[in-house]
Structure 1
Amino acid sequence: MAGAARAGSRSVILTDPRRADCVCSCRLVQASNSKPSKQPAPRASMTAFDPDDAATPESGVFGLNDSSSEAGVRLLGAPFDATTSYRQGAARAPQAILKASHQVDLFDALMASWPGSEGRPWQAGIALEIDAYIANLNAEAAPLARSLMASDQQADSPQKRAGLLARVNEIGGEVNGRVRCWTAEALVKGAVVGIVGGDHSVPFGAFEAASAHHGAIGILHFDAHADLRPAYGGLRWSHASIFANVRERLPQVEAVLSVGLRDLGQKEARTIAESGGRLRAIHSHEWAAWRQSRADLKALVLEHIQSLPEKIWISFDIDGLDPSLCPSTGTPVPGGLTWDEASLWLTVLAESQKEIVGFDLCEVSPGQSDGPEEDSWDAMVGARLLYRLIGLALARRARP
């Protein structure tokens, strides 16, 4: 095949696992009047790059050769799944998605139909940085959390449980701080930002940074679960508690729209109902009824998107999709969005006047087998969804 291969010598960028300090030295910067910057032009260094050629194993995400300093899109891999309440494996997702991304064709015909997009997000430059220090934190926290969930509360001393909880919660706070600091720095530099989990506890720091940088934002949340349980199992930063923490700690998040809910507690349902519209939900059974009645789904999606603030963060827990697309995810639930229905939501967003200020993709799990991670169906779906989230964020920055 003519042209240069889809690869350079640079692989994924790993932050130093020995550093206990934050990955950056920035402060949260308020920029509520900031406007979306133009979509980056293709870089001169990529003029000989052939996007149709095969990626090589040592290449970076999507077979690219971009450093974080030059990339228009910066992704932070957060390999942390200590708070998962059923099956683990999401900590392996950043590496598995990296490998699976080498199988993704870099031209996307659907994205090419979006206003402001040519279907080639790779031209902006994409860099994935996997935080090895977060991986070290996970290695400590995960067995402690498993011990808490498996232990007999009657047999264990209160002091022992309190000590375990305190340490896991402390580690969760450290993860939040690293993600917050990295996101704030990337936003100040004008990059499109995305978080690749990890379980669904890891984006909280990114929500903090984005709301501090942009002011009022909304969150479009795809998930089977509401994640509104305060300190689930005593874990303040549990993946089941992230939107309880948003509700209590982030007043700049003016609205959360959760799509695909089908497994939530009675108290969570009451919290949504009594939120005064700040928390909203489209339950899976409601979506299924619209689908079965042959309703105009695009019009319904647009109506809900228009109800959100002008600036939106997309938080995508992969279990919001039908489990056939994510069979190894930690807490799969029957029902959910099909691939094309998820793509419909992204398309309507691309056609809207909303600004996408960032995104996360969480709870992808390549499974717990010892097989090659690049053979994971879950990671292949995750890599393709990640590419479309990148394309959407770029498209919504390309127009004033």
Structure 2
Amino acid sequence: MSANPTSITNFDPNGLGQAGKLFGLPFEPENSQLLILPVPWEVTVSYRSGTAGGPAAILEASVQVDLFQEDIRDAWKLGLSMLPLNPALKADNDNYRLLADKYIQWLQKGSPEADHERFAAVPDIINAACRKMNDWVTEQAEKQLDQGKLVGLLGGDHSTPLGLVQALAKKHESFGILQIDAHADLRPAYEGFDLSHASIAYNFLKIPQVQRLVQVGVRDVCEQEWNLSQSDTRCQLFTDGNLKEQLYGGNTWEALCREILAALPEQVYLSIDIDGLIPQLCPHTGTPVPGGLDYQQLMFLIKMLVRSGRKLIGFDLVEVAPGSDGGEWDANVGARILYRIANLTAVSQGKLNWG
């Protein structure tokens, strides 16, 4: 079941991992079955920044994750690694983020006419930069998918996985998306940016192969997004408030998970915005919201998805931001989510077996 037996002969899964390698595992991209594509990008974030540092922070924190999974046999042998961080992409992010931030501050001041000429072209500039990033993600994902690899994406903000989903749409006739998120992200554009982190779900729905969009944990939604979620028959919204009301009324999380999964087709793409979880698990994320799923609720839902026989064709984990004080908690949580969903994806694809 391993990606390359010779690469793991001398590896001790109970000992120290290899520094600089994802989860300390002894794999390189060429002998891995599942690759993580890091995308350090947060140009359109509208509140707190920091998510561009997520991939590097999770890579560093990942070596502290114990590799044993009690319900998945030899999970660490999958062959899991991260592609190198792209310094040019990070540099572009930093430059365009400064420009976007100045523009957003101008909007927040009421768009003073005196600076109109200075900022008029900014949306087009930022949109072009985001399209370039998106095209790069598509290109990188297609390269790995063409080699038969599974691909997961690590953001960055929630605008980053669009290119991966577009690449998967070229490989699959139809699939559903399970989105874990505090926000609906169904705005056609936000602050003039049509590839905004606040528009990712809207942009998912532009892809003809996306058969269903099932959103779980949403608790911050504007009227425009609500109306779209109710009028588009491909959308099903499980708000955090409604889920909690049912739990408080005596329903079980297992029963609610079955209802969520019933809305999904056989092939599923998983999109996890970390702010879909309770803020205690992601205190430095860009736009935290009270409420949300706890860690085990999320893991139970995804495990049930795989147990149901559905196949995970890809995934992303986004909006993980390291603390400005150097705190590692957000990255610690993110690393554990990443390891678990990578292994569950592999089980759904028959590349690992239940224990």
Shorter-chain TM range is over 0.9
Among 29, 52, 74, the residue aligned to 1:91: 52
- Letter of the aligned partner of 1:291 in structure 2? L
In the alignment, which residue of structure 2 is the partner of 1:265? 222
The 5-angstrom pairing of residues 143-158 of structure 1 reads: 143-151=98-106, 152=109, 153-158=111-116
What per-residue deviation string (whole Å, max 9, x for no partner) do you get for residues 294-330 of structure 1?
A: 3132132123213212111000000000000000000
Give the match's secondary structure for 1:398. coil
Give the match's secondary structure for 1:200. coil
In the alignment, which residue of structure 2 is the partner of 1:44? 6
Q: Note the C-alpha offset of 1:59.
A: 3.0
User: Under a length normalisation based on structure 1, what TM-score does the superposition of the two structures give?
Assistant: 0.84
Q: Note the C-alpha offset of 1:42.
A: 5.5
What per-residue deviation string (whole Å, max 9, x for no partner) do you get for residues 316-365 of structure 1?
A: 00000000000000000000001111111111012011110000000000
What per-residue deviation string (whole Å, max 9, x for no partner) do you get for residues 110-166 of structure 1?
A: xx1xxxx31x43212111122222212201110011011101412354443232111
- Letter of the aligned partner of 1:44 in structure 2? T
Give the match's secondary structure for 2:63. helix
The 5-angstrom pairing of residues 321-332 of structure 1 reads: 321-332=277-288
Q: Note the C-alpha offset of 1:273.
A: 0.5
The 5-angstrom pairing of residues 295-314 of structure 1 reads: 295-314=251-270
Give the match's secondary structure for 1:357. strand
In the alignment, which residue of structure 2 is the partner of 1:384? 336
In the alignment, which residue of structure 2 is the partner of 1:135? 90
**Fraction of identical pairs, as percent:** 36
Matched, 1:281 2:237: yes
Q: Provide the alpha-carbon RMSD of the alignment.
A: 1.6
Consecutive unaligned residues in structure 1, runs of 5 or more: 1-38
Paired residues of 2:158 and 2:273 also in contact (CA < 8 A): yes
Paired residues of 1:72 and 1:191 also in contact (CA < 8 A): yes
In the alignment, which residue of structure 2 is the partner of 1:200? 158
Q: Note the C-alpha offset of 1:170.
A: 0.8
2: distance between equivalents of 1:156 and 1:390?
A: 51
1: distance between equivalents of 2:42 and 2:265?
A: 30
Consecutive unaligned residues in structure 2, runs of 5 or more: none
2: distance between equivalents of 1:185 and 1:396?
A: 22
2: distance between equivalents of 1:267 and 1:40?
A: 47
In the alignment, which residue of structure 2 is the partner of 1:340? 296
1: distance between equivalents of 2:76 and 2:133?
A: 29
Paired residues of 1:121 and 1:390 also in contact (CA < 8 A): no
Moved over 6 A (4+): none
Deviates more, 1:61-70 or 1:310-319: 61-70
Paired residues of 1:76 and 1:131 also in contact (CA < 8 A): no
